[in-house]
Amino acid sequence: MDKLVIISRDDLKELITEAVTKAFDEVNKDTFTDRDLMTRKQTAEFLNVSLVSLNIWSKKGIIQPYAIEGRVFFKKSEVESALKQKNK
């Protein structure tokens, strides 16, 4: 049978913070393994194309966009991989 444990407010706060941090780390690990995200503008400049071309490539599935809080980003590693595949 579980026992009732009394802990201080600070200890409870620390336990909750650790649990939430661990949960976020797990989600982020599965979602974005690398933090090398580029904005649409940065990606277009990296590829030396217009934003319109970048949008077309996204719609065609050539490169994968990621929407985060209403903004669109691209993983640099995925953009480089798509570029290498396209040049084969």
How does pLDDT run across 9-51, given as a tens digit for each residue? Answer: 999 999 999 988 888 777 665 555 446 899 999 999 999 999 9
| pLDDT beyond 80 at 58 | yes
Mean pLDDT computed over every residue of the chain:
86
Question: What whole-number distance in Å separates Cα of residue 14 and Cα of residue 22?
Answer: 12
Residue with structure tokens 């982020």?
Answer: 28
Average pLDDT of the residues in 61-82? 91
Q: In what order do the strands lie in the sheet with 37-39?
A: 37-39, 71-75, 65-68
Average pLDDT of the residues in 61-76? 91
Task: Tell me the three state secondary structure of residue 53.
Answer: helix
